[in-house]
Amino acid sequence: MLHTINTTQHPLLSFVKDDPVRPEIPAEFRVSGGRIVLALGEDTQPTAMVCVSFHDRVPVTVDELHYTVEVPTTAVFYTIWSYSAGAGRTLLQAAVSAIKTNYPSVTTFVTLSPKTEMARRFHLKNGAIVLQDNETTVNYLYQ
């Protein structure tokens, strides 16, 4: 089951403490100002989680995640992690589908990934292409 987390009271939000990619980002930030967290799994235990920010352009730094818009065209996956093998891929597929349904203005799906080999392998293996290589991040495009 896919859970949309958009409030600090959601019980699954506590699992953002496990985020290995961007642990410095507070839970409150992740569910405010045009940002959500999507979790795959049961009501009490996720199998994977992804944080999404909505924009009208592709951000190249984490600081740009602060500038969301009312009518977004771009969904930015800025961190993802899983608790079981294959769950990250399943979550990304479900996330794209849910965002297309719930945010019809969104037509572009990108990441704001760290420049790591693990991120590169994960996104390329899951069908993304490199959109742009930035100073401290990489944007992968999911089509």
Residue 82: the pLDDT is 96
Residue 87: the pLDDT is 96
Q: Which domain holds residue 82?
A: 2-142
Nearest by Cα to 130 from 107, 110, 106: 110
Here the contacts of 98-104 (C-beta below 8 Å, separation 24 or greater) are 98/2, 98/4, 98/38, 99/52, 99/75, 102/4, 103/54, 103/72, 103/75
Separation between Cα atoms, residue 4 and residue 8, nearest integer Å: 12
Here the contacts of 53-60 (C-beta below 8 Å, separation 24 or greater) are 53/78, 53/112, 54/103, 54/106, 58/108, 58/110, 58/131, 58/132, 58/139, 59/112, 60/112, 60/132, 60/134, 60/135, 60/137, 60/139
Given a contact cutoff of 8 angstroms between Cβ atoms, the answer to whether 119 and 112 are in contact is no
Given a contact cutoff of 8 angstroms between Cβ atoms, the answer to whether 42 and 114 are in contact is no
In a structure prediction context, what are the per-residue pLDDT tens digits for the chain, which is 143 residues long?
A: 999 999 999 999 999 999 999 999 999 999 999 899 999 999 899 999 999 999 999 999 999 999 999 999 999 999 999 999 999 999 999 999 999 999 999 999 999 999 999 999 999 999 999 999 999 999 999 98
Domains: count for the chain: 1
Residue 143: the pLDDT is 85
- CATH code for the domain in which residue 114 is found: 3.40.630.150
